[in-house]
Every structure is written in C-alpha cells, then in structure tokens.
C-alpha cells in the first residue's frame, strides 16, 4: 500500500495547500474529493484547538491508499485537554459540525493520542461499483 506523508505549517492558508496536495496525491481516485474535505476539516480542528495553530505549529497528514481503502490520518501538535468528538450543535451554531461531517463520509473514525498530540484517522472504503472505474495505484 502506498503511503504519502506531508507536514504543513500551522497557518490557516495551508489548509488549501493540504487539500490540493490530497487531490494531487490521490490523482482522480473516486474518493479524492471526500479525502480532501476530510483533510480540510481535520486540519482546521488541529489549527483551531491545538498548538498546531501557533506560530511554530504544524499538522501532519498521512494518506494510505489501497485497492479497497483510502486512510487519512491528521496529527496535531498537542497541548489541549479536549478529545475530538462528534458534537450536536444547535442549528444556529457556527462551529461544531466538522467531525460529524467526517464521520458521515468515512466508514470509520478513530482518535489516538493524548494532550501531547492526537491523530484522527478516517477510513474511506471503495465500493464494488467504484472499484471498476478507479485508477490503479
């Protein structure tokens, strides 16, 4: 399984770069747009809620691609006591829906780590009908 890794500076403008890198890395894979959205949401959470968003911060993205799955892992720089979790905000709330969107798109979402750094991993599975049209890795 090919694995691709990249570290992005802790600047919100880097989220666009992370999305573009994800699309280019997956090169037309049926889940490239979903993966780019997941990278954007998890990267935003890292920048907003952890030391990743500080001047010297960064976040790390790992993409692992197989014939049947795309696994997206985003690791933050830590220094938070909160654990990422799906929230159910009121309709008028302007935040709190990102991890819920990730969970809706992914087959599974896991969180590992502690306040020194957490990795949120989302797995997208290719369905049989999509496998036939997917480019070879």
pLDDT tens by residue, 56-77:
999 999 999 988 899 999 999 9
Q: What is the pLDDT of residue 99?
A: 78
- CATH number of the domain within which 36 lies: 3.30.565.10
| pLDDT the model gives residue 91 | 66
Which tens digit of pLDDT belongs to each residue from 20-46?
999 999 998 999 999 999 999 999 999
Residue with tokens 């590992």: 112
| Rounded distance between C-alpha atoms, residue 45 and residue 96, angstroms | 10
CB 8 within 8 A of CB 18: yes
Residue 15 lies in a domain: yes
99 part of a folded domain: yes
On whether residue 60 sits in a domain, the answer given is yes
101 inside domain: yes
**Number of domains within the chain:** 1
State how far the Cα of 68 lies from the Cα of 75, in Å rounded to an integer. Answer: 23
Residue 136 belongs to a domain: no
| Residue 87 structural domain | 3-131
Q: What pLDDT digit, counting tens, does each position of 77-130 carry? A: 998 756 666 666 566 656 656 678 898 999 999 999 988 899 999 999 987 554
CA 36 to chain centre: 7
Q: Is-contact 75 100, C-beta < 8 A?
A: no
When comparing pLDDT for 89 and 131, which is higher? 89
The CA-atom distances, in angstroms, between 50 and each of 77, 83, 101 are 6, 11, 20
């Amino acid at each position: 399984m090919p694995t691709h890794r990249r570290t992005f500076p802790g600047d919100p403008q880097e989220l666009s770069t992370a999305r573009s890198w994800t699309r280019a890395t997956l090169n037309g894979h049926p889940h490239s747009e979903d993966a780019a959205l997941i990278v954007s949401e998890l990267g935003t959470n890292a920048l907003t809620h952890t030391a990743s968003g500080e001047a010297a911060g960064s976040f790390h993205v790992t993409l692992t691609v197989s014939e049947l799955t795309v696994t997206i892992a985003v690791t933050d720089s830590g220094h938070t006591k909160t654990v990422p979790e799906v929230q159910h905000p009121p309709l008028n709330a302007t935040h709190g829906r990102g991890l819920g969107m990730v969970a809706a798109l992914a087959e599974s979402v896991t969180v590992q780590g502690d306040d020194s750094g957490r990795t949120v991993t989302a797995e997208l599975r290719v369905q049989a009908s999509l496998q036939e049209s997917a480019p070879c890795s």
